[in-house]
């Protein structure tokens, strides 16, 4: 049984040569701001065309497209919850984003996967809580994977990197 590498780095997710990157998408999957817009710009117009065929994606679920002009072969699109104060099921929805993205990666027999900080941009999820959920869910799913060898949390800022490093250093 292998133990996949789990790490955080301050890096632009659109530059990563991994099997798949996860896109923190909106429900329409038609691009937007933040990481979603950056991924769409880097992948090129074919990504938007492919997303239009998917019929959207409910919060917590995941959909797949090719990576097109990205170094990553695949893009797993997941829709995180909008923060509404914490009593509207946001934590469960965010956890499902990670579980469903990892399940899709396993179905594809991917070896390397990179996540952004889902829901931490315009969706307003508190960063510390979001990073704790991300690390908890990925750690819980990794022992069940057969093919994943490395999961990277791609951090957009030094502050986000510090939060992921703290969550990764905490005992499971």
Q: Where are the beta strands (DSSP E) in 85-125?
A: 112-115
CA 33 → CA 36, 100, 102, 133, distances in Å? Answer: 6, 23, 24, 23
Catalytic: 36?
Answer: yes
Q: Which of 12, 19, 36, 92 is catalytic?
A: 36
Beta partners for residue 64, in sequence order = 76
Strands of the 112-115 sheet, one edge to the other: 5-10, 150-155, 112-115, 20-25, 74-79, 62-66
Which residues form the catalytic set? 36
């Amino acid at each position: 049984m292998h133990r996949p590498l789990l790490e955080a780095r301050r890096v632009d997710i659109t530059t990563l040569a991994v099997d798949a990157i996860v896109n923190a998408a909106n429900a329409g999957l038609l691009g937007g701001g933040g990481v979603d817009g950056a991924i769409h710009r880097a992948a090129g117009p074919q990504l938007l065309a492919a997303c239009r065929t998917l019929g959207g994606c409910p919060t917590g679920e995941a959909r797949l497209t090719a990576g097109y002009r990205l170094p990553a072969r695949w893009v797993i699109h997941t829709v995180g919850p909008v923060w509404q104060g914490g009593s509207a099921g946001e934590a469960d929805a965010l956890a499902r984003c990670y579980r469903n993205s990892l399940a899709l990666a396993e179905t594809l027999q991917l070896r390397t996967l990179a996540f952004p900080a889902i829901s931490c941009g315009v969706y307003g999820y508190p960063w510390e809580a979001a990073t704790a959920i991300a690390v908890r869910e990925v750690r819980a799913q990794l022992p069940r994977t057969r093919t994943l060898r490395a999961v990277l949390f791609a951090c957009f800022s030094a502050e986000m990197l510090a939060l992921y490093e703290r969550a990764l250093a905490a005992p499971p």
